[in-house]
Amino acid sequence: MTEPINQIGTWIDIIGILSSVMLVAALLIWVERRMIGIWQDRLGPNRLGPLGLMQVAADMIKIFFKEDWIPPFADKAVFVLAPMIIMVTILTAFAVVPFAPGIGIIDFNFGLLYFLALSSLSVYSVVLGGYASNNKYALLGAVRAAAQTISYEVFMALSLMGVVMLSGTFNLRDIVEAQRNGWFCLSQFLGLFLFIVAVVAESHRTPFDLPEAEHEIIAGFHIEYSGMKFGMFFIGEYLSVTLSSAMIVTLFFGGWLGPEFLPPLFWFCFKTSIWILFFVLLRASLPRPRYDQLMSFGWKFMLPLALINLLVTGGLVLWMES
């Protein structure tokens, strides 16, 4: 019987993984703007450096040197703490992501539950930021974020139970190994659809970016933020996209599994990149629904589908074992 937690990464691995994740999140600023420009048949960043690559550096310098202002009417301690929460929770969630055999931080028998727990905790960043700002638009955005995240967490967890039933484990590495005879995106295509919609809503990405809908509540929960505090929310969103893409690959597309002529790490990064581009494409192509439509879609459509998927998968597993 294996130990519940096995550290598989040295300090060099830990620093390397977290540094790479932060670098990817920073580069996504350029990737998103460039790809949306291509898809919408217009120019993206093209002035600073080759292909506009230095635009990222210019944006980061601008954020560093902007005035880091705290409103006098805000709850200062909570206001400062809020943007840190999203960075800490998402970076900590990467600890259980299995990048390749022998590459990762920890091997945790309940890694999937760990991911779900930390994705739930990240909503505190938005809620506390909106509350501490003492601004009615920020508070409205925070309330929207709380209701949206709590609602779609239910469907996200239920959508993954089929994967757990088929693999028989919550260990993410074992879930990857269980897909050697077939990726779960085929047998759990309904669970995949539900999980994709749920993580888009959880990360507040377009078209589900209603907590910061500028046409209704200006900028929502981060309206009073500037400088590096705003930068933490900004980078946190791209970290969330990267984490969501990595989890989609791990749970439904075989993780690092692929043809052996290339190393496993390449296949994991390649599949994750494709899903990151999918998140960007959503922003370029889908309109934002009304908030009541978003909530109705969740409870009236997503919940029944999640329960049906759970029921059918459970029945098939029992039938195969009998």
Cβ count within 10 A of residue 164: 16
The encoded tokens of residue 112 equal 């999937």
- Examine the pLDDT at 33 and tell me if it is beyond 70: yes
Residue 252 pLDDT greater than 80, yes or no: yes
Of the candidates 102, 117, 100, 113, the one whose C-alpha atom is nearest the C-alpha of residue 7 is 102
Quote the CA–CA distance of 225 and 220 in Å, as a whole number.
10
- What are 16-26's pLDDT values in tens digits? 888 888 888 88
Res. 87 pLDDT band, cuts 50 70 90: confident
Q: Is 235 helix (H, G, I), strand (E, B) or coil?
A: helix
pTM for the whole thing? 0.90
Residue pair 129/118 in contact (Cβ under 8 Å)? The answer is no
> pLDDT tens digits, residue range 171-200?
999 999 999 888 999 989 999 999 999 998
The model's pLDDT over 141-156, given as tens digits with 9 standing for 90+, comes to 888 888 888 888 888 8
Report long-range pairs for 56-61 (Cβ below 8 Å, ≥24 apart).
56/26, 56/27, 56/29, 56/30, 59/29, 60/26, 60/231
The tally of domains found in the chain comes to 1
How does pLDDT run across 265-311, given as a tens digit for each residue?
Answer: 999 999 999 999 999 888 878 777 888 888 888 888 988 999 999 99
pLDDT, mean over the chain: 85
The pLDDT of 86-101, averaged and rounded, is 89
Q: Which structural domain range is residue 85 located in? A: 5-321
Find the mean pLDDT for residues 92-111: 87
Predicted pLDDT at 249: 95
pLDDT surpasses 60 at 217 = yes
